Amino acid sequence: MNELALRDLFKNPNDNCSINRIIVSSASKDAIKNDEYLLTTILGIELITNQQPSPTFMRRSIAGFNVREGEPIGCKVTLRKSRMKSFLHVLLMDALPRIPDFSGISKSQFDDNCQLHFGIKDPVSAFSILSPHYELFQRLGKGSVGLQITIDVNASNKDRAFNYLRSLGFPVVE
């Protein structure tokens, strides 16, 4: 996209995009059976984000999965301001380039609220801070979906959010 097309997207100079928050979460039914799994997940997310995550609990009982309401199932952390910027830097410069089959981010990964959702199946190999302690964190990606990352962009539509993340250096696929 050329410079004139990008300039027309932002006709109002005050209509700039920004990132409101980043949410990093992980959940697995294995955390119910094994307390060590939950503690390992909490420690792994704390090392990645430099912020203490809060545990998440089941909202309702599901008999087929053998889970009950109120049982801990995972953890999440919401990053803002300086911690958000440092995590974004680590994500763009360290984690995403180390994922072997990562093809990029597409517009279909945005929802109607201009939030980008994607997952990292093997966070131990993606984040270099976890790699030296592979034995401890090897279960972080096993039996669950790994890490779910949500980036909340303050934009008026998906195209503006997509172009803003492209300008920040996100690998994108059209």
What pLDDT digit, counting tens, does each position of 13-31 carry?
A: 666 889 999 999 988 777 7
Query: What is the pLDDT averaged over residues 120-133?
Result: 84
Higher pLDDT, 77 or 3: 77
Which residue did the predictor score with more confidence, 14 or 117?
A: 117
Q: How far is CA 4 from CA 11, 157, 158, 160, 171, in A?
A: 11, 19, 19, 14, 22
| H or E segment to which residue 153 belongs | strand 147-154
* pLDDT exceeds cutoff 70 at 7: no
Contact status, residue 162 vs residue 110, Cβ threshold 8 Å: yes
Predicted confidence at residue 132, as pLDDT, reads: 82
What are the extents of the domains in the chain? 19-168
Q: How confident is the model at residue 131 (pLDDT cuts 50, 70, 90)?
A: confident
Q: What are the residues facing 153 on neighbouring strands?
A: 19
Enter the pTM of the model. Answer: 0.85
Span 46-58, average pLDDT: 92
Arithmetic mean of pLDDT over the chain = 84
Alpha-carbon distances of 124 from 66, 94, 136, 139, rounded to whole Å: 28, 12, 10, 9
pLDDT in tens, 60-74: 988 887 888 988 888
CATH architecture of 19-168: 2-Layer Sandwich (3.30)
pLDDT of residue 4: 47
> What is the phi-psi region of residue 104: left when phi exceeds 0, alpha when psi lies from -120 to 50, beta otherwise?
left
